Structure 1
Amino acid sequence: MPLPQKIRNVAIIAHIDHGKTTLLDSLLNQSKLFRDNQDMGERMMDSYDQEKERGITIFAKHTSLPFDDYKINIIDTPGHADFSGEVERILGMVNSVLLLVDAQEGPMPQTRFVLSKALQMGLRPIVVVNKVDRPHADPDRVLNETFDLFTELGATDEQLDFKFCYASGLTGFAKKHLEDASIDMRPLFELIVEAVPAPQGDPSHPFLMQALTISYDDFVGRQACGRILDGTVKKGQNLALTNVSGKPIFFSVTRIQSHLGLNKVELDEASAGDIVIISGMPDVTIGDTLSDAKEVVQLPPINIGEPTLSVEISVNNSPFVGKSGKNVTMNKIRDRLEKEKKANISLKIETDANDNDRITVSGRGELHLAVLIEAMRRESFEFSVSKPRVITQEIDGVKHEPIEKVYVEVPEVYSGQVIEELSRKKGEMQHLSTTEHGITKMEFLIPTRGLMGYRNDFLTVTRGLGILTSIFEGYAPWKGPLKGRLRGVMISGCAGKTNGFACFNLQERGTLFVKPGDEVYEGMIVGENSRDNDLIVNVTKAKQLTNVRASGSDENIILTPPLQMTLEQAINYIEDDELVEVTPSEIRLRKRVLNETDRKRKERGL
């Protein structure tokens, strides 16, 4: 059991794709926790399937590394703005942060967000200029830009006097000066031991800890993770859990766990300063206080940022229900969402008392919600998802909506189109500058609903050369109506199997979402119309056969490959009268009302 002065607690924060997880790989490799012939692969901490596929960190991960006679607890945090709720809580667990900055790109929008949170909490960050071995790296410029950012965010004199080093997570070296030899990660380990303050706390005081992250185990139930603020905890010890109500619930500790490398290790006891996972409490949530049963204490609750987007999840009632999924009833969907709510506190799940066939799920952004929907889909769930809606607030009797701060970098030739499109979506330009390399940098304030679904159009307009990132800025008065999708859709008028002849005749009318041989049903969206109106089509119509055969009478048809939408693209594409049908094998688009006659009646209010 290490003494508090021999423990260092630190989190790694950065903009998305600036190399947090890769740097942690190098630290893990140098800690000699694995065999020499053990193949651990890349991005070891990204253990979740979707993290490996998307190439991003979604959940904060804990690890512990030995260095000389010190124990260094490191937490890898998500870089995407949608998962900023994870970052906010983690900062309460550590005594400093490693702020990673790309040696070429410099500070980016999410760098600003996570750094401001760290500075507000009084932490003194250590700046790591990463990827210094890249061809176009300019570490001196990036270091100056980072200092300017510290100043802009109101850092104190002590915070401005930050320690820094240069590193390459991919190659596996760190150095305090650019002219030093590139050997290994030891200089970074030494900097952490030197610059990160030891955790406060006295092992002789009564036990005290606040739950900052929650996990769930099928055998022991909910588990609370946090830093022990005071005292010592032993297996079998009686503790008190105090939630927002202020009424303590007493329980016995069944398990104490810590981290070592990629594994959890069970402990008999742990003391002040260490980060541990405690099991045994009946129910626990973020911000609850765990204290000695003889001296009950309640710490101030933790404020978590409110969700900004919501979707409605309902039972799949299409003709293809149950073809590929096993869990199709509302009871199973509700149980799965309630289980998610236990571990993912930044999601909000509400059931409508008047409508048992629908559940509203609210989150921080499209990706936040899409990760949950994709996870359920992989667990053989089948359901329908509505178009996302922004969550508005009533402030002083005026309707307010969420606003995003958008940072855009595009080649100068495309800047005019981007400005025109964002202005049409009620965006207000805050800043514009063009570098000597012909890259235009812009900042906009734009309603969240104006940004929904725009990212794909942005990549098309900029030929994939643009960068667009956004961060929640706050609430502003409602900006008025926004134009929706510019084009209509092609809707199947009958059920059946598509064929090449019908697809060939329809592809000149727009873009198809289906290919020959796909099963369709009435009311299913099979493509995008080239005009602004919806079009009923027969995508199952076969060629009329005759008994006359002659060379050249049959054309050799050439079909354009169909557009295959990802889950996020599909959710952003649909309108209010449409749904995304999510199944383990397929993602389909459909109208809420499948029958054409019923849709027309509904439009006329009959």
Structure 2
Amino acid sequence: MKSIRNVAIIAHVDHGKTTLVDKILHEAKLFRSNQQINELILDNNDLERERGITILSKNVSVTYKDVKINIIDTPGHADFGGEVERVLKMADGVILLVDAFEGPMPQTRFVLSKALSLGLKPIVVVNKVDKENCRPDEVHEAVFDLMFNLEATEEQLEFETLYGSSKNGWMSHDYKQPTDTITPLLDTILEKIPAAPQPEGIPQFQITSLDYSSFVGRIAIGRVYQGSLKEGDFMGLCKSDGTVKKVRIKELHVFEGLGKLRAEEVKAGDICAVTGIEDFEIGDTLTDFENPEEMPRIAIDEPTMNMLFTINNSPFFGKEGKFVTSRHIRDRLFKETEKNLALRVQEGESEDKFIVFGRGILHLAVLIETMRREGYELQVGQPQVIYREIDGQRCEPIEQLVIDLPEEVSGKAIELVSQRKGEMKVMEPKGDMVHLEFEIPSRGLIGLRNNVLTATGGEAVMNHRFKSYEPYKGEIPERSSGSIISMEQGPCTAYALDKLQDRGIFFVEPGDVLYNGQVIGEHSKGSDIVVNVQKGKKLTNVRAAGSDKEAKLAPKKVFSLEEALEYIQKDEYVEITPQTIRLRKIILDENQRKRAAAKI
């Protein structure tokens, strides 16, 4: 029986985690010498590649010196925190990867605290030591301080540190002496990470994540903690309500390289995928049906935000998308809940409306972006935070917000966060930057990133993570500017836009085809304004001096999907089609809007 090491990789977004896994796979000679492969092998979803973030945790395994190493890639972004905790349950040790310039970041802290509390042994890798201005020694100190503050044990504090550059494919115990290989890291894993225990006894397999295949349905992924699983065996599935259901294992697969390998039997200590079980949840235990031994359940993060999803009913519906009906959207959303665990879907007041609950705007934006790429058309409303009643008090989600920015613009950022009920907890220098930490209500974060980046000339780096539910902090002022709304349907003209430039910033340019009720700009005053941008210049046969000057237009403001979701007001929707993102009023007709406003 091969010895097994189960190791999870923890890192902040963009510190080089997925690149490091690439290099380990190369080192283990998983690919033929003539095989063409891409970079970032694990980020196999287009969105992950574009955004440069890992969204879903994944498993790969390599064999090194006859030891099987299961590598578990974890998401670094707090909106996907639900993934992280469960994944760490499968590991016996963690590799903490930190950037040699940036040092440990807030999300690193979040995942590391979970790993330390589970008693996992860390190995620290200080990555990107080939970058200019890097400070490996200071970063090493910062990691030690962080672990100390997170109440790591004596044993955990005696961690091994390696330095290197994943991109250039080397690791070393001393950054002043680069090597040309990544093997020092693999040797350290074998030496420092304990081998997975392989106890005999009644089988115990806990489901920590799941996959979905259109051929076999839902696939349970987890670790065998005790005994062994065999193909074709009848087992007991311990459910959350205390019942034990009889199920049969159809197929077993272990992770081998980047793929899966069919196995007749999987012994304790290994990670595997089980097909053939129906109706299971995360945290369920697969064990003996006659003498069930259930494992402690895993808690899953509750959603903190919800958003209304509805069909696209704008005048331009169905022009670009393949899937436009409520049945299409319903099926797609419920299919997503089978593998996206922090997501919940609830039917709305009418059959074409759905309330979707998620962990944050990024979590929901990734789902919307995936749907539009698949050919869906839909509209979504303003994100709303979820309030809870705790001990008779109305409570709301509070986030920990960290901003790193140049000192000369820090005052503006502090002012913007304070206006949104943010409380400053830490302010300290970090190299030539200032490091600020706040506690702020989740609803205060909606639209904040845009404002802070504008006020600081794009130099602020912002990160936030969910902290806890705390008593309601009071009203937060809404967006101070109103909307500019199109009065007619048809293409807008440069002449009309030129005449209206002093009214605000526009999101459209000449030639864009608009409809009545579409939000086409931001009004410089607090009220909404309806304008006609379709009218052209009246032509006469009399030439007047100066009347033919060319229109000089400011470039239009372009929104990303997250920015659009953060920007809209309560009475607006974001219309999303495979090719366009438009903002619009929920009630398109101006007179009906006025009547509705009068009733409120």
- The corresponding residue for 1:461 is 455
- The corresponding residue for 1:177 is 174
Aligned equivalent of 1:45, options 39, 42, 47: 42
- The corresponding residue for 1:485 is 479
C-alpha contact (below 8 Å) 2:202/2:293 kept by paired residues: no
Counterpart mapping for 1:182-581 below 5 A: 182-202=179-199, 204-352=200-348, 354-435=349-430, 437-548=431-542, 553-581=547-575
* CA positional deviation for 1:296: 2.9
* CA positional deviation for 1:554: 2.5
* CA positional deviation for 1:294: 4.2
* CA positional deviation for 1:388: 0.5
Percent identity, please.
Answer: 47
CA distance in 2, matches of 1:282, 1:425: 46
* CA positional deviation for 1:184: 0.5
C-alpha contact (below 8 Å) 1:499/1:540 kept by paired residues: yes
Tell whether 2:75 aligns with 1:78: yes
* CA positional deviation for 1:511: 1.3
CA distance in 2, matches of 1:266, 1:385: 42
CA distance in 1, matches of 2:315, 2:208: 45
* CA positional deviation for 1:272: 1.1
C-alpha contact (below 8 Å) 1:256/1:269 kept by paired residues: yes
C-alpha contact (below 8 Å) 1:246/1:298 kept by paired residues: no
C-alpha contact (below 8 Å) 1:400/1:477 kept by paired residues: yes
Deviations 1:359-414 (A, max 9, x none): 11111111001000111111211111011111111111111111111111111110
- What stretches of structure 1 move > 4 A for 4+ residues in a row? 549-553
- The corresponding residue for 1:109 is 106
Cα distance change of structure 1 residues 310 and 548 upon mapping to structure 2, 3 Å threshold: same
Deviations 1:234-280 (A, max 9, x none): 32222222211232332332222222222222223221111111100
Residue type matched to 1:254 in 2? K
- The corresponding residue for 1:120 is 117
Secondary structure of 2:351's counterpart equals strand
Residue type matched to 1:27 in 2? I
Structure 2 residues not aligned, in runs of 5+: none
CA distance in 2, matches of 1:594, 1:461: 33
* CA positional deviation for 1:225: 0.3
- The corresponding residue for 2:13 is 16
* CA positional deviation for 1:215: 0.8
Secondary structure of 1:212's counterpart equals strand
Return 296-305 or 40-49, whichever deviates more: 296-305
C-alpha contact (below 8 Å) 2:308/2:380 kept by paired residues: yes
Aligned equivalent of 1:148, options 128, 145, 148: 145
Secondary structure of 2:34's counterpart equals coil
Deviations 1:413-463 (A, max 9, x none): 10111111111111111111235x542211111111111111122112211
C-alpha contact (below 8 Å) 1:223/1:284 kept by paired residues: no
CA distance in 1, matches of 2:269, 2:394: 46
Question: TM-score if structure 1 supplies the norm length?
Answer: 0.96
Residue type matched to 2:552 in 1? I
Residue type matched to 1:96 in 2? G
Secondary structure of 1:336's counterpart equals helix
Return 46-55 or 449-458, whichever deviates more: 449-458
CA distance in 2, matches of 1:545, 1:259: 72
* CA positional deviation for 1:552: 6.3
Deviations 1:88-145 (A, max 9, x none): 1101011011011111111111111111101111112111111122222221111111
Residue type matched to 2:85 in 1? E
Aligned CA RMSD, in angstroms, stands at 1.6
* CA positional deviation for 1:179: 4.3
- The corresponding residue for 1:100 is 97
CA distance in 1, matches of 2:207, 2:275: 11
CA distance in 2, matches of 1:553, 1:144: 68
- The corresponding residue for 2:592 is 598
CA distance in 2, matches of 1:258, 1:405: 38
C-alpha contact (below 8 Å) 1:285/1:342 kept by paired residues: no
Secondary structure of 2:462's counterpart equals strand
* CA positional deviation for 1:558: 2.6
Residue type matched to 2:511 in 1? G
CA distance in 1, matches of 2:391, 2:238: 34
Secondary structure of 1:52's counterpart equals helix
Residue type matched to 2:418 in 1? S
Residue type matched to 1:220 in 2? V
- The corresponding residue for 1:33 is 30
Question: TM-score if structure 2 supplies the norm length?
Answer: 0.97
Secondary structure of 1:414's counterpart equals helix
C-alpha contact (below 8 Å) 1:12/1:99 kept by paired residues: yes
C-alpha contact (below 8 Å) 2:164/2:178 kept by paired residues: no
CA distance in 2, matches of 1:571, 1:179: 47
CA distance in 2, matches of 1:600, 1:447: 32
CA distance in 2, matches of 1:557, 1:598: 34
CA distance in 2, matches of 1:597, 1:266: 65
Secondary structure of 2:331's counterpart equals helix
Residue correspondences, number:
600
Residue type matched to 1:182 in 2? T
CA distance in 1, matches of 2:247, 2:391: 44
C-alpha contact (below 8 Å) 2:60/2:70 kept by paired residues: yes
* CA positional deviation for 1:13: 0.4
Residue type matched to 1:339 in 2? K
CA distance in 1, matches of 2:290, 2:229: 13
CA distance in 2, matches of 1:402, 1:215: 30
